[in-house]
Structure formats: structure tokens, C-alpha cells
Amino acid sequence: MAHIQLKNISKTFGNHTALTGLNLDIADGEFFVLLGETGAGKTTTLRMIAGLEKPDEGQIFIDGADVADWGAAERDVALVLQQYSLYPRYTVRENLEFPLKPKIRRIEPDEIKTRVDRVARTLRIEHLLDRKTDRLSGGEMQRVSIGRAIVRKPRVFLMDEPLSALDAKLREALRTELKNIQMNLGQTFLFVTHDQIEAMSMGDKVGVLNHGRIVQTGTPYEIYNNPRDTYVASFVGSPPMNLIDGKLVNGRAVMAPLNFELPFAGGAKTSGATDGRPLVFGIRPEDVYLESGAPVEARVHDVENHGVEKILTLRIGDAMLRATVPARTDVEIEQPVRFAWDPDKVVLFDKGSGISLRHAG
């Protein structure tokens, strides 16, 4: 059990800046997901908490103690990586025993056996115990990796894209399993991923990382519905939030280069949404709907059928807008349609800084 704090962490590798002024607070027992694109600094953050990398600046606290001088072993964290975390020469059992055998731990052989067996049962890998790890499938390997982490009962679990190398079906299954494990153990998890679906579905809290900075921290709900800036808005969500340039004129959203207007109701809630200020309007595709009497006309540019729903790409002039519609909606490519949005769901961003007006206030 542990509470982790990162204060003002900076790290550069050569002339590449990995992290700048990073602050992070992960509560005890929380499933925290660090979400970001490749190269955003996620893995560096993880490695610094694990003690494999030293920050150039800033402090890391585990349960209030500054761990700057602690080695990886003393920090008592467990690490699960995307690959290479199992030893190829060992059997599954030996791999699971390995974290229990260092001299500093002094665990009795009986206790080791009990723990390994219990973990194998939890993860349903008992039948694999005597197999060499190079004879395992990807999913089995990651199960064993997770087992290796659990068996030691560490204070913190650090996971670096553990599911990214797996195929979709397995990823989904392990996602649920991992979340269940975390809830049963009640342990602090820091999970790093570039997959926003993983972040949304597993995280108690999500931190969005962009170019070495935390852009926004919050519950998945907050991140999704109230993105702090256009980066978060376009990164989280599949398809991402529609972002359209425009301005407010008399309580209506007027899209500047595109010449269409939509009603806007959120003006009262948002300070700074003055008439004429250059803005970016953000609307989630599911809040765009087709209706015969709707104010704007567009053509269907593309249709993606996802089974439960269809994702339409609408073309208005040169601009594209995504809309998620029920699967039974019958549309064809190049068909003219009329659409509107849910005026309550529109998020306004400042055109210059890209920051949401709700957050800027």
C-alpha cells in the first residue's frame, strides 16, 4: 500500500527533454492510468518511480518518504513490462519464485511454494507452472508477468503497457482481469498506456501526458466530458472530439471559415465566452445527431459500421465532422443529410491557447 507523489520532476536525455515540471499524486489503493502518445514520457516516469532512472530535478515520495537515495530493490515496487519481463531459461514456476528469492527478502521455501501456488490459482496458470516461458502464448506470458508482480506483495504495481502486445480479444479479457485483481488486492497501481480505451475502462484516475507535461488529471468521466484543452479533447475518445473553429454571435455558434451556424446554450455557464472571441468548438461525435429538420446540411463522406453503432464522417464544405449514429440509421455515401448538435454538450476552447474556457476560469 502506498501513496506516491512526484513533485516538479524534470528529466532530459542528452538534448531530448523527456519530462518538465511533472507533478503527480497517486492515492493509496488507486488505479492510476498515465495516458500519452509514444515518447510523451510515460515510461520515463514509471522508471523513475521504480528507481531505474534518476530525475534531474524534483522529488519522488513513496508514503511521504523521499526515495531519491533508494535503490530499485528498496523501493519495493513491482514492474510489469510489455515484453521481456520473463526469463527465457526458466520455467513459469521458477519465474514466479524469482522475485521471492533475493537474499534481502529471506522467505522460507514453504512460504514461497504456497505463494506461488496461490498466485497461479488466481491467474489460472497452474497447468503452465512447469513449462518453459518461451513455450507460452503472448497472453499466457503476460499472465505470468502479472503473477511475478503479485507474488511479491509489493507496495506499488507499475505496469508499462502490459497489454499492448496482445491481440484485441485477449487484451479485453486481461483488462477486466487486471482491474479485478487490483480491486481485490486494494493496491496502488500505476498503469502506463497509449490506448485511451484502456485508460477509460480501467483507471480510477487518468493523467494525460503530452510532451513531458501532465496536461490533465481526473476521473475518466472528467477527462472525457470536460477536457482541459484541445489536445486532451482530440486524444481521448474514439473517434475523437470534433474541433471546429468559430465564434459566438448572439448566443449562436458561427463557424468562421465554414459558414454554418448552430444554436449554443452553454454561454451562460462559461465565463469568457464573449461575442466575437475566436474559439474552438468541441463536440463529441455522439452529441451530433441527424434530423430532417436540423439547421445544417452536410453530405455523408464515409460510413464506418461498428455493429452497435455507425460512425459517419460528414462533409460540410471542406471540413469533416464525425457523428456517431445508431446502427439502424440508413445512410449512403454522398447522401445529403441534416444535422444538429446537443448545445449543452459543446465545450469551448480558446483559439490561441487551446485551453478550455471552463478550466481557464
Partner 1 sequence: MAAVTTSAERSLNKLAIVGVLIVTMIFLAPIYWIASTAFKPRNLATTIPPTVVFQPEISPFVKLFTKRSQLRTAPTPEQYAAAPWWERLVFDGGEKVVRSGRGEVQWSGYPSRFMNSLIVAITSTILAVGMGTFTAYGFSRFKIKGEQDLLFFILSTRMLPPVVVAIPMFLMYRVVGLNDTHWGLIILYTAFNLSFSVWLMKGFMDEIPKEYEEAALVDGYTRMEAFFKIVLPEAATGIAATAVFCFITAWNEYAFALIMTNRRAQTAPPFIPSQVGSGLPDWTVIAAGTFLFLLPVAIFTFLLRNHLLRGMSFGAIRK
Shortest Cβ 50–partner 1 spacing (Å): 6
Q: What CA–CA distance (Å, rounded) separates 76 from 172? A: 29
276 forms part of the interface with partner 1 (CB under 8 A): no
CB of 155 to partner 1, least distance (A): 12
**Contacts made by residues 113-117, CB under 8 angstroms, sequence distance 24+:** 115/151, 116/151
DSSP, res 168? H
Least distance (Å) between residue 151 CB and partner 1:
10
Residues pairing with 247 in the sheet: 254
Q: Is 84 in the site for partner 1 (CB under 8 A)?
A: yes
- The correct pick among 87, 222, 234, 299 for binding partner 1 (CB under 8 A) is 87
- The reply to whether 52 sits near partner 1 by the rule CB under 8 A is yes
Query: For partner 1, what does the binding mask look like between residues 10 and 49, x meaning CB under 8 A?
Result: ----------------------------------------
d(CA 239, CA 116): 42
Query: Which residues inside 129-158 make contact with partner 1, applying CB under 8 A?
Result: 148, 152
Nearer to partner 1, 145 or 313 (CB): 145
Give the 3-state secondary structure of 220-259.
HHHHHHCCCEHHHHHHCCCCCCEEEEEEEECCEEEECCCC
Whichever of 83 and 234 has its CB closer to partner 1, that residue is 83
Is 11 buried (19+), middle (13-18) or exposed (0-12) by CB count in 10 A? buried
To partner 1, the closest distance from the beta carbon of 107 in angstroms equals: 11
How many C-beta atoms lie closer than 10 Å to residue 219's C-beta? Answer: 14
Q: Left (φ > 0), alpha (ψ -120 to 50) or beta: where does 245 sit?
A: beta
Using CB under 8 A as the binding rule, whether residue 50 contacts partner 1 is answered as yes
Instruction: Give the nearer residue to partner 1 in terms of CB position, either 6 or 337.
Output: 6
Decide if residue 77 touches partner 1 (CB under 8 A). Answer: yes
Do the strands 77-80 and 156-160 form a parallel or antiparallel pair, or are they unpaired?
parallel
Which residues contact partner 1 by CB under 8 A?
50-52, 71-73, 75-79, 81, 83-85, 87-89, 98-99, 102-105, 148, 152
